[in-house]
A and B are shown apart, each in its own frame.
Chain A
Amino acid sequence: MASGDITRSPPPFPRFALQWRVAFALAAVLIVAGLAFSVQSQTASSILLATTTSTRDTGLLDFLDPLFQADTGIQVQYVAVGTGQALDMAARGDADVAMVHAPSLELTFMARGEGLCRSSLMYNRFLIVGPASDPAGIRGLTNATDAFRRIWQTNSTFLSRGDNSGTNVKELAIWALVGHIPSTTNDSWYLETGQGMGATLTVASEKGAYTLSDDGTFYALESSLSLQILVAGDPFLFNQYHIIVVNPVQHPNVRANASLEYAHWLVSSRGQALIAGYEVAGHRLFTPNYNPNDPGVC
């Protein structure tokens, strides 16, 4: 009764073949369900904000965005990256709106026609912090350049973020005014962490070193650090934020209308009041300074 019929080709291990088919079917169902869910959650009204890690770290966005959504129904999703990448994201059309604090880079961005409009938003401050012992003797100085010069001349340990962030850019700008840009190879007292503000502060605290920090991150971590504010108030240490809506002409996918609504809300009296009232560890961080007379405002 040997069968020589070769027209059919059934599987030799039917239970196993069945298991495979069930698994594949399950996989297909899961993938389709996930796709559907993903697509569905994206059609809800939302905009993508490109911003910096230090902005995220202040917690301001987590405070403002839900209020904006309650007022307008628009959800703000933000991606926090380095300043350079944030503007690059906007230039690629991967973000609808940008909130950054690097004026020179922003002006180049606008000059290339990448932005629809740009409004000044608020500023917070940078602080020079260091150990209570203050080996360089800078406490109470009102000029950041003088403070840095003294740190250099006393060879006191200084930690730089070394990551091209807005804070790093400001730090290098101060060194430029001093007339000496330190390098890790030539200046043994100058160290780079390559990390975010929180991590840099922690390392500075452990090493008893000086560093430049934004006020928000410092206040948020102050209780766990053994650092003190030594120099503040120099206008050069002000950190100016702008809100930029990406130009939809270059990138048609940009949700310009919703982004404009966001920008207008932030510079409205309600938005500016909320910004002024925002506190971290009992300290108010931001001073709103929207100026409707600036060129190219939203």
Chain B
Amino acid sequence: MTVPLALAGVQKSFAGKAVLKDLDLRVEAGEIFGVVGPSGAGKTTVLRVLDLLEAPDGGQVLFEDRALVPDSREALAQRRRMCLIAQNPAVFRASVFDNVAYGLRLRGVPPELVRGRVFSALEFVGLLDRADEVAARLSGGEQQRVAFARATVLRPDVLLLDEFTSNLDPANVRLLESATRRYRLESGCTVVIVTHNLFQAKRLADRVGLLLDGKFLEVAPTHGFFENPSRPETQAFLSGEMAY
């Protein structure tokens, strides 16, 4: 059965140091897959490779079982079906509306349709009344909500979340987590979320993988991962006793 995303034997080094070593990953359609692990383990790199921002030194990146060459037209077409939301919102120097409309305009969506979709995405994150404000003037949490709207308005098949609530207060964390769940329900998209917040992983993910030493050491459904990990490293990591 084809899966939307997979990594097969992926290797990636930076400045001579190997970060991902012969890594395999299969993400099921429509699931929320959580990636946890120590800092510097390469979690962000996994997302960047999935989003075709980094070309792996070895191995393949597969979408529906088709390997894609980075920097090809196919890769661009595929990337337009995915969205990565990073830790820092990086809003453009424009209004909230123009920020959310950005991706739609890139794809040539006609202006009449753009309006409707932007307003609907803003309503989703509770920013409908702020549409005409300068995005840079919003608070950090509000900017991240703009970033979320900017991504989901495109109806991506895949959502890649890179510690996207790490900098936020609890209210915004809740709001965005709830928005993520709602979006997955309504669209059936696949989500890969990198987080160092284990509670968040428990709340959101269907399956969780531990990234250690450049590979996924253990991958299991959430309940089993947290309650009954099969690897001692997982246990050590979850209890906070892992030395690294």
Contacts and interface: CB of A to CB of B under 8 A. Distances in A.
Interface of A: 1-6, 8, 10-14
A4 B78 contact: yes
B107 interface: yes
Given A13-B94, A13-B98, A2 B105 contact: no
Contacts of B108: 3, 5, 8, 10
Given A13-B94, A13-B98, A3 B80 contact: yes
Nearest to B101: A12
A4 B77 contact: yes
B81 A4 contact: yes
Given A4-B78, A6-B76, A10-B107, 5 more contacts: A2-B155, A3-B80, A3-B108, A13-B94, A14-B111
Contacts of B142: none
Contacts of A1: 155
Nearest to B81: A2
Contacts of A4: 77-78, 80-81
Contact of B105 (A5, A6, A13): A13
Contact of B154 (A2, A5, A11, A13): A2
A12 B80 CA distance: 14
Interface-centre pick from B78, B107, B156 (highest chain A CB count, 10 A)? B107
A224 to B, nearest CB: 58
A4 B106 CA distance: 11
B154 A12 contact: no
A12 B102 contact: yes
Contact of B157 (A2, A11, A13): A2
B80 A2 contact: yes
A11 B108 CA distance: 8
Contacts of B111: 14
A17 to B, nearest CB: 10
Contact of A6 (B80, B98, B156, B157): B80
